[in-house]
Chains A and B, each alone.
Chain A
Amino acid sequence: MAEQLSWKVGGQQGEGIESTGEIFSMALNRLGYYLYGYRHFSSRIKGGHTNNKIRVSTKKVSSVADDLDILVAFDQETIDVNYRELHANGIIIADTKFKPVKPEDTEAGFYAVPFTEMATELGTSLMKNMVAVGATCAIIDLDVSVFLGVVEEIFGRKGETVVQKNMEAIQQGYKYMKDQLGDGTSSLALPPADGQKRMFMIGNDAIALGALAAGVRLMAAYPITPASEIMEYLIKKLPKVGGTVIQTEDEIAAATMAIGANYGGIRSFTASAGPGLSLMMEAIGLSGMTETPLVVVDTQRGGPSTGLPTKQEQSDLMAMIYGTHGEIPKVVIAPGTAEEGFYDTVEAFNIAEEYQVPVIVLSDLQLSLGKHTVEPLDYSQVSIRRGKLVKEGIEPREDKSYFKRYEVTEDGVSPRVVPGVTGGIHHVTGVEHDETGKPSESPANRKAQMDKRMRKIEALPHVFPNPVYKNATHEEADLLLIGFNSTGGAIEEAMERLESEGIKVNHARIRLVHPFPTEDILPLIESAKRVAVVENNATGQLASIIKMNAGYPQKIKSILKYDGNPFQPHHIVESSKELI
């Protein structure tokens, strides 16, 4: 029996490829399997090759698999583009409709199944994906009755007949495939899962849920791939807590509206990708200078400019750390999993209010759009900390002197009042200002205020929970692999393989990328023979940040990938071996 399964369905965009993967994975999730999905798609609505690769396992999986067990093809392109991933025991099942041709240089099994024809006979060719799901079940020895619940949920609204027809399509696909396979157990059969109910969500869902749990009431945003799902989720949910999403005219409006709302006393944020973040830079500076909390989610995609809008990349790092003119205290957090996406988003809102700074939650396309099984989220870990927010009880002042909103304090954080509060009137301006917010150009005041602002986040690496995720069991490792965001899963798998060959590997994933947790990572760098920073960009941005903060420019090497596709474990294994 297989430990796990790697399944891919492909065809032309707009043909229902997504729903095929969705139905298949939803049913498996309910059985208690761990899933990890990655969609390959293009920046167009109809046409163009798309595929959805789903990994199924009885254990947690966090990366795109190296190889493939089953390839479901709705067109020849799917076969031609993907068959090389199949291992010798793999199987291609292809729709007879396009007269599929088996590639000569593959040992994988090949079956032509009349997906479309069977579906059409049942009433509509749309059900061809159901037939394909059924055929898959035959290969992995899965009882198709598990699909009933999922099909009812998806098609229930369309009536009982539609549900029945879809179930029938699955059953027929199953039966047809079983007949083809003949007797005997399949080598691709999956061991039973634990039946545990677990969440199955994309990273963006986790981020949006985190925002909701953090008490967000207004999201201001402009649609963009791969961030839009965050606003789409909140459009449905915010009205239930009295809030709303405003789709603004652009990202400048989104960021400044969120600033206005935070200044007004609520938790508000925006989410976008590189192009939107570029537009928001001046606003982020305003947040920093006026010490108005602001949370911005950046779901990285292929840049520069419009770049590769539907592809994986991690090239916004430097821009997020250094973007905006002048110098402000800013925090950049990079969750690596959907779970972290949830908790870190909650934390981002707390940090934004406690330190009165802009906080960027950095994600990437693979994390934001990949659909994964998520461990239970613990609500008791959600705390709402609003820092030095003052809502009442301000000492009366008889003269009309302003409240010291920017009082110079030891930790740099000043009391914050919001409009409407008696006795709290002060001025807020992006111009350099004194303790009451009034413009001031005096050199002494400038220095005092600049120092105060910059002081605020100095201690953050020491108080941020786990600024570096570490899987480091070796006191002296042959190799230390460092990454951020979604590459962690592939790194961990690569590590296992390298270890099995006797290479001692440690892994560190930076979760707080700014301010940089130098002290946390330095001992690992010092004790490793070699260090390789794994990142989806062309210039080694994280490696540069590490060298800048921790030194060791000779020792630190890069493993880079910027072709638009995520790292698979084998890429890291191969590059690592070249380095040691």
Chain B
Amino acid sequence: MATATTATFKDFRNSVKPNWCPGCGDFSVQAAIQRAAANVGLTPEKLAVISGIGCSGRISGYINSYGLHGIHGRALPIAQGVKMANKDLTVIASGGDGDGFAIGMGHTIHAMRRNIDLTYIVMDNQIYGLTKGQTSPRSAAGFKTKSTPLGAIEQTLSPMQLAVTTGATFVAQSFSTDLKDLTAIIEAGINHKGFSIINVFSPCVTYNKVNTYDWFKENLTKLSTIEGYDPSDRQAAMNTLMQHNDLVTGIIYQDTERPSYQELVEGYAETPLADADLDLGEETFKQLVEEFM
């Protein structure tokens, strides 16, 4: 197969049958990534999907592209390493709400601050799916799970408010059944120069009987329906999130001015580091040695 210059979403399909429960929200996220990748003009070789551990984390195995299914909570540092190594790759990191907002929360915050050019897609089902239904930082107060039989008593985390205050340059939220919108947002995330975080409400039909498809349909507001909503206005973004209890979809905030991490790194090579000749050369080595004399 010669390098294809264009691809369709079908090229991003592989032969693996997902082991998700029928009806799981993650199926649509997978489809949206495949469509967005084709729409922005990628070929499978140029895409690396790095995922964490959880039902959602399996996603990298279901897309025909390079992919790495790592360890719980660490998709982001792995993905940042991949992007630093090869700036020509499009890197998508993804995983669940537990993966990114519990065990991996430290990395999420610092990836937002660092602003390396990659797209982070969270499949937020407000529960731990893979371990069979424990509470997540995204679970609503009072939500009864295996680990909170009397109802969750901890404050629900707002990843979107956190992202806006932490300095993320692209903050968006979507709903997995909304394939068209979700695809468009992922495309925008990939095209954004810098770190983009996209939180996707992706219902777990097996363990979350509260935040169901119907529940989201009833409670979500599309930002496109709010007149004059301006995603470059950080203050308005925060106000809107608070007013709607975070239940909005669309691009919440985008800063197109701030350069990505790689643009700011002193001396960072113009060409992918993965292509570099590793030999330091005798002359350079000699100079380095001289400095210790």
Contacts and interface: CB of A to CB of B under 8 A. Distances in A.
Among A29, A256, A264, A286, chain B packs the most CB atoms within 10 A around the CB of A264
B70 A242 contact: no
Contacts of B284: 240
B86 A420 contact: yes
Interface in B106-135: 106-107, 109-110, 114
Given A200-B292, A257-B78, A264 B278 contact: no
Interface stretch (B42-50, B172-180, B238-246): B42-50
A264 B89 contact: yes
B276 A419 contact: no
Interface string A158-201: 00000000000000000000000000000000000000011111
A428 B89 contact: no
Nearest to B1: A396
B64 interface: yes
B153 to A, nearest CB: 28
B231 interface: no
Contacts of A263: 68, 78, 81-82, 85
Interface in A257-275: 257-268
A44 interface: no
Interface residues of B, dominant DSSP: mixed
A122 interface: no
Contact of B79 (A220, A260, A424, A428): A260
Interface string A198-220: 11110001000100111101101
Interface stretch (A17-25, A76-84, A246-254, A299-307): A246-254
A205 B291 CA distance: 11
Interface residues of B, number: 61
B225 to A, nearest CB: 37
A256 B70 contact: yes
B193 interface: no
Given A239-B268, A250-B106, A384-B278, A430 B82 contact: no
A106 interface: no
Contacts of A267: 278
Contacts of B14: 400, 402
Interface string A370-406: 0000101101001010000000000011101110000
A415 interface: no
A419 B82 contact: yes
B77 interface: yes
Contact of A217 (B71, B106, B276): B276
A438 B288 CA distance: 45
A217 B273 contact: yes
A218 B61 contact: no
A427 B61 contact: yes
Nearest to B81: A260
A471 to B, nearest CB: 27
Interface bin, chain A: 35 or more
B16 to A, nearest CB: 6
Contact of A424 (B45, B60, B278): B45
Nearest to A217: B273
A264 B85 contact: yes
A430 to B, nearest CB: 6
B88 interface: yes
Given A200-B292, A379-B285, A215 B279 contact: yes
Nearest to B268: A244
A431 interface: yes
Contact of B274 (A201, A257, A420, A424): A420
A431 B67 CA distance: 13
B280 A266 contact: no
A374 B265 CA distance: 33
B1 A239 contact: no
A218 B81 contact: yes
Interface in B257-293: 265-269, 272-274, 276, 278-280, 282, 284-286, 288-289, 292-293
Contacts of A376: 289
A539 interface: no
B50 A400 contact: no
A109 interface: no
B102 interface: no
Contacts of A285: 71
Nearest to A236: B291
A426 B65 CA distance: 8
Interface in B1-39: 1-3, 13-16
Contact of A422 (B1, B74, B274): B1
A261 B82 CA distance: 5
B267 A256 contact: no
Interface of B: 1-3, 13-16, 44-46, 48, 50, 60-61, 64-71, 74, 76-86, 88-89, 106-107, 109-110, 114, 265-269, 272-274, 276, 278-280, 282, 284-286, 288-289, 292-293
Question: Shortest 7 CB-CB distances between A and B: which pairs?
Answer: A260-B81, A239-B267, A215-B278, A264-B85, A242-B269, A265-B274, A261-B81
Given A209-B289, A212-B280, 10 more contacts: A209-B288, A213-B280, A214-B278, A218-B84, A239-B267, A246-B114, A248-B110, A264-B86, A265-B85, A418-B274
29 contacts: A213-B280, A218-B81, A239-B268, A242-B267, A246-B80, A249-B106, A250-B106, A254-B77, A256-B70, A257-B78, A257-B80, A259-B70, A260-B78, A261-B84, A263-B78, A265-B86, A266-B86, A267-B278, A268-B81, A268-B85, A282-B71, A379-B285, A382-B285, A396-B1, A418-B86, A420-B86, A427-B69, A428-B67, A429-B60
